[in-house]
Amino acid sequence: MGADQHLVVSWLMRVRFAPSPTGALHIGGARTALYNWLLARHAGGTLVLRIEDTDRERSTPENVEQIIDALRWLELDWDEGPISQVSRSDRHQDVLARLLEEGHAYRSNATAQDVQAFKDEHGAERGFRGVAEDEGAVRLRVPDEGETVVHDLIRGDTTFAHRHIDDPVIARADGSVLYNFAVAIDDLDAGITHVVRGEDHLSNTPKQLLVLEALGASQPVYAHLPLLHGPDGKKLSKRHGAASVQELRAAGYLPEAVRNYLALLGWGDADDETIISTPELIQRFRIERVARNPARFDEQKLRWLNGRYMRELDTDELTRRLEAYTGREGLRDAVAISEEKVQTLADFWPLAGFIFDGPADDPAAREKWLGEEGRAALADVRAALAEVEPFTVEQVEPALRAVVEARGAKPREVFQPVRVALAGTTVSPGIFETLAVLGRDASLERIDRALAA
RNA sequence: GCCCCCAUGGUGUAGCGGUCAGCACGCAUGCCUUUCACGCAUGUAGCACGGGUUCGAUUCCCGUUGGGGGUACCA
């Protein structure tokens, strides 16, 4: 690589997604990943995946795998990593030693009680300052004077007075480093240019900046995303239905619809479009336009959006998705007549499963539509259907309408009994289409059964 | 407690000193119609409150209230 090219590379955007593997990837984390991905793809930059696993208790291989699965399902790829934060502990130790050596950090055995005692004496707003000891945890020295300003692409500048900041513990007594230290070093070493993460990290940013400053390193540009809440305004949790990516997947949502929805949750373009394909998103997404206020996750809108995406897929593709989702095969004909009626992949089977598994059992439907009148109509339909040739929608429809006319009935008085006979319920795809998909034999058999019951 | 962030209909957002405050979801009604949907049409509902600044504030400043985050030898 020549010098010129190197210069170009150094100007490119490098972002990262750094989840801590504490379980399933939540929607908030998924959105953070999406925004970073959008930024990287838009700028032709690099997305680094780093696993923040310094908390050994919660970081299990299963949890890491869950996050990677979720990203794959969302079709968000990364260019470097996954890098385990723990795997970088040698480097962390080197930097820690240097900070200790240069006096930017010190060892201390101060406990939470000691910190409280300090505040009782100096005032609650006064940041804790410890005294150097021979052993104990490592604390970063925060100056008493001055302030640290976080320059944020979304929020502008936020100023933190040093006198309010506690000397943060950056390494445990056993030497293992803590998040606020490791994250600063890792982002620095990875050459991250833009740190895009949740707002819950904003208050800790000055500590990370102080670490960087102690090292004489330059700082990245920050962008803190507003947090996501549940429908009730409270923190998002399992109580709110699908709160994790795997739950969204299980609920039958399409990854492209989820990307579209998540992109709009906290971000809006000037032209106010709602349906935005991923390529368009890459082209139009601007981190500066991300909203500052927290957003609520609204599954109703996701459902609507998902329905729009479902209807945009052609029948073959939708069939592939549905077959993968249900684990069944030979669904195409049933899919073709159900497309307009489902909003999620999960909606399909309850609507059209009767075609394969036989009529559902809905006593109320039978009672209402298969009484004396219903059976009489059904018998007429059976007779008419026996003559239809070929057994196609084009031939079936006029035959049934002729029955309606001959009986002087309302359409529903004839069609609903047929529907209940075939599906067992009052809801199904169009009746002519359903008949055609079922075929003459199966249709007549089901009608006979309803008549005999 | 202390530090920090945020505030447009029920929800997500557009707006960046003068607009009938726009769009989407939802909800309601109508049309379509064999069920359920889809689609189409119409309607419903909002600038948290109080002070300023200004000829004029949804928009700028301050405060209040209300949410949220941080304050761990968690991330």
* pLDDT for res A240: 57
* pLDDT for res A270: 86
A132-146: burial string, b at 16+ Cβ within 10 Å, e else: eeeebbbbbbbeeee
* pLDDT for res A229: 87
Does the structure show a pLDDT above 80 at A91?
Answer: yes
Whole-number average pLDDT of chain A: 92
Q: Can you give the pTM of this predicted structure?
A: 0.93
Span CA (A304) to C1' (B20), Å: 30
Span CA (A295) to C1' (B50), Å: 27
Does the structure show a pLDDT above 60 at A10?
Answer: no
CB A419 within 7 Å, strand B? yes
Nearest nucleotide relative to A298: CA against C1': B11
Does the structure show a pLDDT above 70 at A168?
Answer: yes
Tens-place pLDDT, residues A226-267? 999 877 777 765 555 568 999 999 999 999 999 999 999 999
Q: What is the share, in percent, of chain A residues with pLDDT greater than 90?
A: 87
Q: What is the share, in percent, of chain A residues with pLDDT greater than 70?
A: 96
Does the structure show a pLDDT above 50 at A4?
Answer: no
Q: How far, CA to CA in Å, does A187 sit from each of A83, A192, A212, A244?
A: 11, 5, 10, 26
* pLDDT for res A242: 65
Higher-confidence residue of A401 and A60: namely A401
Tens-place pLDDT, residues A293-304? 999 999 999 999
* pLDDT for res A8: 45
CB A432 within 7 Å, strand B? yes
Tens-place pLDDT, residues A37-51? 999 999 999 999 999
- Would you say A375 and A451 are in contact if contact means Cβ atoms under 8 Å apart? yes
Strand B contacts in A 271-310 (CB under 7 A)? 272, 274, 289, 291-296, 298, 300-301, 303-304, 307-308
**Which positions on chain B have an atom < 7 Å from some protein CB?**
1-8, 10-15, 22-26, 33-39, 67-75
Confidence class for position A146, pLDDT limits 50, 70, 90: very high
CB A199 within 7 Å, strand B? yes
Q: How far, in Å, CA of A93 to CA of A98, rounded?
A: 9
